[in-house]
Amino acid sequence: MNVHAPALAKAHRLDDQASAFASDVIEGLSQPPKRLSPKYFYDAAGSELFEQITVLPEYYPTRTELGILRQRAGEIAAIIPGGAALVEFGAGATTKVRLLLDQCRFGAYVPVDISGDFLKAQADALRRDFSTLNVHPVTADFTTPFALPEAVRDLPKVGFFPGSTLGNFEPHEASAFLRSAREILGHGAQMVIGVDLEKDDRVLYDAYNDAAGVTARFNLNVLVRINRELGGNFDISGFIHRAIYNRERHRIEMHLIAKKAQTVRVLGRSFSFHPGESIHTESSYKYSLDRFTALARGSGWTVRQSWTDAAGMFSVHVLVASD
Ligand code: AVJ
């Protein structure tokens, strides 16, 4: 056996990730209208800015979802089979999963994330605090099919997809993701999912236009990242953050707006902007309970139970695989 193979495979994966970023950026900036995927917000600086967003007074989703999970963890535990493997799609801060791990007797925890380093640190912390929990991190892009670790093959499966990350997907992508999760988790699986709800325009607007300007910095950071990682020459001060609620399409849209005409070079290519031209950097879809229920049903799942906070701002659902 070639002892260097794992190291080479790892280097190759990193190359793949870097070149996917490069080709996605080139493709996105070549389109009219220009766009960038929100998955590229989360370099080290972007992840730190996102953590700051989650505690902003205007940003209600994180604290509202935590409140629901805290209040309902006992009820969730009661409908989840003992000894199940909890498979988390994407792994950020461990605050939310700890609420479930505190209440439910899981046989294993499988965090799945594209960032292997972050996963390892997170896994180590959980092993320390839950000494009997088997933690099996999987480094993978959870939007594409991946294999679960052999060690959890015979355990019941429970998916976990908090934070309304589902909202970043276009509706057809959200459906494809739910179908793929159903395939990965298999027959009889359940899934705990957090989904942000439609509400008053002003509340939504403020959540993405915080007074302290953290969301603006989070949005602009993707240009900083392109400059650093792809040798771009974006003038960051030449763009402003804009977030609007598009009620017809049930989504917050984040844009970066060119203040003046300018030409930017990235990886040897030129991209021209006219004054006021936008780069669409994120959509964050908001659901009604009915639209989410229909989406789940059309994607291989049945809603078993749903909870919201008292003000109906955010929802948490337990889904059961259909058939
Ligand atoms: C992580 C996708 C749920 O849409 O609210 C926060 C990302 N963007 N502020 C969201 C985000 C701007 C967040 N999600």
Per residue of the chain (323 residues), give pLDDT as tens.
344 444 444 455 557 777 889 999 999 999 999 999 999 999 989 999 999 999 999 999 999 999 999 999 999 999 999 999 999 999 778 899 999 999 988 999 999 998 777 788 889 999 999 999 999 999 998 988 899 999 999 999 999 999 999 999 999 999 999 999 999 999 999 999 999 999 999 999 999 999 999 999 999 999 999 999 999 999 999 999 999 999 999 999 999 999 999 999 999 999 999 999 999 999 999 999 999 999 999 999 999 999 999 999 999 999 999 97
Residue 110 · residue 123 · CB < 8 Å = no
Residue 163 in contact with ligand 1 by CB distance below 6 A? yes
Residue 314 in contact with ligand 1 by CB distance below 6 A? no
Residue 168 in contact with ligand 1 by CB distance below 6 A? yes
Cα 230 to its chain centre, rounded Å, is 23
Residue 284 in contact with ligand 1 by CB distance below 6 A? yes
**Which of 39, 50, 241 to mutate to test ligand 1, by most ligand atoms within 8 A of the CB atom?**
50
Instruction: Tell me what pLDDT residue 7 has.
Output: 46
How far, in Å, is the centroid of ligand 1 from the Cα of 284? Answer: 7
Instruction: Tell me what pLDDT residue 93 has.
Output: 80
Helices 289-297 and 171-185 pack at an angle, to 10 degrees, of 50
Taking residue 74's Cβ as centre, other Cβ atoms within 10 Å add up to: 10
Residue 221 in contact with ligand 1 by CB distance below 6 A? no
Q: How much is the pTM?
A: 0.93
